[in-house]
Structure 1
Amino acid sequence: MSRPPTFVPPPGARAYRLRTARGEFAVVDAPVAAGAEPRGTALLLPGFTGSKEDFNPLHGPLAARGYRTVAVDGRGQFESDGPADDESAYAQEELARDVLAQVEALGTTVHLLGHSLGGQIARAAVLVDPSPFRSLTLMASGPAQISVPQQQRVKLLRDALAVMSMTEVWEAMQAMEPPEETDTGAELDAGLDDREDLRRRWLGNKPAQLIATGRQLCTEPDRIPELAAVALPFHVLSGARDDTWPVPVLDDMALRLGARRTLVEGAEHSPNCDQPLTTARSVADFWDSTTA
């Protein structure tokens, strides 16, 4: 499970529901810091079993660099509504068009950043229509399906969700693994001691969303040739270790995209949580370079 350090929005940030042409989405919206020169707006997409709170550690440092950051729960994810049983509602193109609607509602072009599954949704949005985006950052998000061990874990989760309630799955996970190691899918992030917040987030996810996006993670084709043909600045950022997409796979993807490549030492699959200051600095440096 993706485990943010805190579920409390950072100082100055506002949690609300962003109204779009495709429904309302829960967001954490952090403005540019007082005294900082405004440099742009960024939309941040979380990963599988994650949420907008995964980016809480980045808002402050990025605000200080002049960036407004808007982190969003996708359709059927934590505090954003969606159908519980209709997997077709979570087809990748549907989620991509949600992203385009979110950008339209923000009323400005954005730097797009996607973590893990969020990176694959982000690139799908760019492939539908790149015009609303100033750049694309893929954070710990690879070119195609996740690694075989992670596919096996996601399959176990999908099989459990087919026959058990969300509460039953949560209880089973807690019984099977120590609290500090409990994981519900492809995300393997730093720990949060307050299990109740994690339980609340887990129960907020719609089962159909987890089943559909879990399948996407296990079957995603390599779309890097399509993406490389888009005239956008690209950034591939990851921790120094990642067992969801191995680092050499991410290195190769960056070469194929002609992307800036950042390796965050001391971080694994969630550099936004493991090393937030280094991650924020690297992201802001890249965004700055696109407008220099």
Structure 2
Amino acid sequence: MSTPRFLTLPPGVRAQQIETPLGTFAALEALPVRGVPERWPALLVPGYTGSKEDFLAIFQTLAEAGRRVVAIDMRGQYETEGPDDPSAYTCEALGEDVDSVAAVVGEGEPVHLLGHSFGGLVTREAVIGGATKLASYTLMSSGPAGISGPREKACRVMLRELPEVGLAHLWAHRLEPEAIVAGVPDDILAFLRKRLFANSATALVAMAEQVLGAADRLDDLNEVDVATLVLYGEHDDGWSPTIQAEMAHRLDADCVVVPGALHSPAVEAPETTAHALTRFWNQAEQRLLHTTA
């Protein structure tokens, strides 16, 4: 479970609803506090049990570089409604949602697409599908196939216990005590509870199955000509740093290891993460503009 550092919207950040042909998606949008966006926009997609708020700590720094930055709740997550149909939560179906949102965010221009954790498995479907007009692609704390490491165990617990004991029991007897032991502040704890219970129960189960059972699609991803970055914390407890380094090598991608961070670099090391993203995005734009000039 990703834990936002704070919940107050920074200057230049506002909540909005993104209307697409596939539905309406709750979003947070960041704009430069001064001036207008002069660079191509970025679209950020959260991980399993996460939400758009997981990117709050990096919004302002990213926008200050002169671009519009949008983060969404995927279908069935937090403030975006989802159906009781498990097929709506496959990586392929959610990838189509990302395509639809990216078309609106880009307004005909290329988009810098980022997927965190499970969001990486989802966004790669959009990249492979080829419908999204991309400026670059970033896999943040994600992997080539189903999740491994300690977070695999947590995900299997969710998948096993949620249908058996229900969300309220799981929160009260496992998730909340773990958060308290980790020292999560009361206001963030209250938000985590609110967010978890706002998720579609069907989505929580179906997404858990997806993040555990995802196939390796790096060969397919390698066929797409797009500047790619693999970014992860040096102590990631999801996909191991070794696995992610190997993934970067297979994709011939740029690779950034964030010192001191675990599975959520945007929360645990926001300034380092934001500056690494901005540098990569700017370089990707320069290369793309140069090749099309």
TM-score, normalised relative to structure 2: 0.92
Match of 1:133 in 2: 134
Match of 1:60 in 2: 60
AA matched with 1:177: E
1:272 has 2:271 as partner: no
Match of 2:27 in 1: 27
Match of 1:188 in 2: none
Q: 1:14 to 1:258 in 2, by over 3 A?
A: same
AA matched with 2:241: V
CA distance in 2, matches of 1:37, 1:166: 42
Aligned partner of residue 143 in structure 2, secondary structure: coil
Aligned partner of residue 32 in structure 1, secondary structure: coil
Q: How far does the alpha carbon of each residue in 1:231-290 deviate from its partner, in whole angstroms, 9 at most, with x for none?
A: 000000011111211101111110111111001111111110011001000000000001
Mapped contact 1:42–1:67 kept (Cα < 8 A): yes
Percent identity between the two aligned chains: 39
CA distance in 2, matches of 1:166, 1:9: 28
Match of 2:123 in 1: 122
Q: How far does the alpha carbon of each residue in 1:97-143 deviate from its partner, in whole angstroms, 9 at most, with x for none?
A: 00011012222421001110011111111111254211100000111
CA distance in 1, matches of 2:248, 2:242: 10
Aligned partner of residue 267 in structure 1, secondary structure: coil
Aligned partner of residue 119 in structure 1, secondary structure: helix
Mapped contact 1:5–1:192 kept (Cα < 8 A): no
Match of 1:224 in 2: 218
Match of 2:207 in 1: 213
Q: How large is the RMSD of aligned CA atoms in angstroms?
A: 1.7
AA matched with 2:206: A
Mapped contact 1:36–1:64 kept (Cα < 8 A): no
CA distance in 1, matches of 2:36, 2:181: 38
CA distance in 2, matches of 1:175, 1:265: 28
Match of 1:290 in 2: 284
Mapped contact 1:130–1:230 kept (Cα < 8 A): no
Q: 1:277 to 1:81 in 2, by over 3 A?
A: same
Mapped contact 1:115–1:141 kept (Cα < 8 A): yes
Aligned partner of residue 142 in structure 2, secondary structure: coil
Mapped contact 1:151–1:218 kept (Cα < 8 A): yes
CA distance in 2, matches of 1:204, 1:7: 16
CA distance in 1, matches of 2:185, 2:113: 26
Which stretch shows the higher mean deviation, 124-133 or 213-222?
124-133
Match of 2:159 in 1: 158
Match of 1:98 in 2: 97
Q: How far does the alpha carbon of each residue in 1:23-46 deviate from its partner, in whole angstroms, 9 at most, with x for none?
A: 111000011331476111000000
Q: Which runs of 5+ in 1 are unaligned?
A: 183-190
Mapped contact 2:95–2:125 kept (Cα < 8 A): yes
Match of 2:290 in 1: none
Cα distance, 1:148 vs structure 2: 5.0
Mapped contact 1:41–1:111 kept (Cα < 8 A): yes
Cα distance, 1:176 vs structure 2: 5.1
Which of 239, 254, 262 pairs up with 1:260? Answer: 254
Mapped contact 2:126–2:132 kept (Cα < 8 A): no
Q: 1:89 to 1:131 in 2, by over 3 A?
A: closer
Cα distance, 1:201 vs structure 2: 0.5
1:239 has 2:241 as partner: no
Aligned partner of residue 40 in structure 1, secondary structure: coil
Mapped contact 1:135–1:234 kept (Cα < 8 A): yes
1:199 has 2:193 as partner: yes
Match of 1:187 in 2: none
Match of 2:111 in 1: 110
CA distance in 1, matches of 2:201, 2:156: 14
Aligned partner of residue 47 in structure 1, secondary structure: coil
